[in-house]
Amino acid sequence: MSVRVDVEEIQTTKGEKFLAYVLAVFLLIGGIWTYQKIDDYVAEAVEISATAAGDQAAIERLEAAQRRHSQARGRERAALENLELRREAYRTALDAGRPAAALERGYRAASRDYERTREEQQRALREVRAALPAAREASRLSEAEIERRIDRRDLFTVLIRLGFVAAVLAFAYWLLARFRSRGSRYYPLGFAFVGFAAVLALVMAGDYITDYADPFDLGPLVLSLFGVAVTVVAFVALQRYLARRLPVRRVRKQECPFCGYPVRGAAHCEGCGRQVTGECARCSGPRRVGTQHCAVCGAS
């Protein structure tokens, strides 16, 4: 039989897998909380409601003209009511044949006052009409500015979130490679970080995959390509690690290179039943599966 170890047959203990899953869950709790808080932090940092000084002045002129027009209309209605009362009193006196000189003077004065208030109301109305186009333009520009600032805030949010998720991915794969290169028993924890980073990337993709702005559409795509690339690289590194390092470490500890069960000199593992002693390809002597060199002839 071959003394090389099949990568797919190398096992990790259930306890290591369980703790790696638990770590991934707690990482997700904190990571998703941070991911959501980024939007709150950006909303506080980027001001949305703002109007230029000139635009605000145009809007204030319209509001002042509208107030004057409203006041002029009130005075006009009051003058009209006064005119109607004095006219009725004057007519009643004339119909009754009573002296009405004073009533006539009151009626004439009320008529002049009504004409004056009517002219004031017309002037106020012209001021409103004159100020209305500039105020409408200012309001339109203000709405456009607010929309622009909202878009900028959303762009900042997606860029910061993209950077956060990319940093988490990079750190997770760096940690995985670090554990691999050092042959650490904490290697499964590296997978917990990688799984956490992958789920966090999926959360971000779910948030922005339905948006139509170009930065939002490109964000998940770039994140996907980046994640695919580093995952493939990590997978290749994992295969090399499992094929070269883990069996050797287990053989040094007199364990089965496949499942890690202690081997007591038998030809087969008592844990998984696989053959742990093979035949050297050079001298045909007995050779432990997973060793780098034959104990009889020293061949690699």
Q: Which tokens is 262 given?
A: 């202690």
Rounded Cα gap, residues 107 and 109, in angstroms: 5
CB-count burial class (<10 Å; 0-12, 13-18, 19+) for 30: exposed
CA angle 189, 230, 154 (to 5 degrees): 95
Q: Which tokens is 177 given?
A: 């490679």
CA angle 28, 30, 33 (to 5 degrees): 100
Q: What percent of the chain has pLDDT over 70?
A: 74
pLDDT for res 243: 65
Rounded Cα gap, residues 215 and 222, in angstroms: 10
pLDDT for res 1: 43
pLDDT for res 171: 92
Give DSSP secondary structure letters for 81-105: HHHHHHHHHHHHHHHHT---HHHHH
pLDDT for res 212: 44
Helix (H, G, I), strand (E, B) or coil at 144: helix
Enter the pTM of the model.
Answer: 0.46
Count of Cβ atoms closer than 10 Å to residue 33 Cβ: 9
What ranges do the domains of the chain cover?
7-48+150-252, 53-147
Q: What is the pLDDT of residues 39-92, one digit of tens each?
A: 888 877 766 555 555 566 777 787 888 888 888 888 888 988 888 888 888 888
| Residue stretches of the chain with pLDDT short of 70 | 1-16, 46-56, 138-147, 183-185, 209-225, 227-228, 231-232, 235-236, 238-239, 241-247, 300
pLDDT for res 261: 80
